[in-house]
Amino acid sequence: MTTFIDYLLGGFSSGAVIALFALALVLVWRSTRIVNFAQVGQAMFTTFIALIVQQATGSWFLALLAGLVAGAILGLIVYALVLRPVQRLDTSGSIIATFGVLISLQALAAMIWGGEPQSFPPPVANDGLEIGGRIWPISWYDVLVYVVTAVLVVALTLLFTRTSLGLSMRASAFNPEVAKLSGIRVNRMLAFGWALAGVVGAVAGVLIAPTASLSPNSFDILLIFAFTAAVVGGLDSLIGAVAFGVGTGLVLALVTGYGEAGDAPIVVLILLAITLVVRPGGAFGRGKSRAV
């Protein structure tokens, strides 16, 4: 039983980060109906920038701040240069364009910072906490990850449901023409959605970097898990993305713990396939996703 709990606790951390990436994908999807494959590439790039700031100043907080700003700016750049012109195209056009951005960002990062994995120091201890005489697979750093993720999710939910800005963003996403006719500056809202997604991705990148290593390709696999979580969650639902993001992390941890690490992607694939067969629009998709 305790091993089971250990696995679950371990899964929560990676699940939280997968949830953040899924959240970023959902934000972009909601604003522009595009699945942004470049999201993890943007996160990787901004995390490198955060690492530079960390190395220069020694401050994790400043690094996070730099990552956030860089994430927003990079999100805006990708949107303005690539996706805004592409929007008129079909799904495959946007998928291919974002994929092109991903490859370009990875190559650029490899050119600038090299392919070798670099370590990103955590702001608080990343050692297992000792509670009640035994060491649990959860550290103060994990706690920080949970708290930041929870705060972000709550803040985003409030933004979308309780503010004029959130309403403008939702209207722009659902029906750009009606939004324009209502006086909403739709292009600004879409760009804001991309910037916001960039920020969330940057947070995810800075949070995962200390427990992982940072290299141009180090977030690739997270893209697939986050994508799975976002798709299973219905792509439109913030709550779905978070729930299935964390869920994916837990499943991965349990499969890795009890079975073999190599089985994890198969299990994720099976979950994805079953969900899509039962509900082709995702578990939280189609009509149920209004609230958030």
Q: Is 212 in the site for another protein (CB under 8 A)?
A: yes
CA 264 distance to own-chain centroid:
19
Exactly one of 195, 264, 283, 292 binds another protein (CB under 8 A); which one? Answer: 264
Q: Which stretch binds another protein (CB under 8 A): 52-60, 65-73, 172-180, 198-206?
A: 172-180
What residues between 228 and 247 interact with another protein by CB under 8 A? 228, 230-231, 235
The answer to whether 119 touches 214, Cβ cutoff 8 Å, is yes
Q: Is 278 in the site for another protein (CB under 8 A)?
A: no
Q: Is 129 in the site for another protein (CB under 8 A)?
A: no
What residues between 20 and 79 interact with another protein by CB under 8 A? 29, 35
**Residue placing its CB nearer to another protein in the complex, 115 or 121:** 115
Closest distance between another protein and the C-beta of residue 185, in Å? 5
Q: Is 116 in the site for another protein (CB under 8 A)?
A: yes
Closest distance between another protein and the C-beta of residue 133, in Å? 26
What residues between 72 and 101 interact with another protein by CB under 8 A? 82, 85-86, 89-97, 99-101
Exactly one of 32, 54, 168, 237 binds another protein (CB under 8 A); which one? Answer: 168
Closest distance between another protein and the C-beta of residue 272, in Å? 5
**Residue placing its CB nearer to another protein in the complex, 129 or 276:** 276
Please give the Cα distance from 222 to 9 (Å, whole number).
Answer: 18
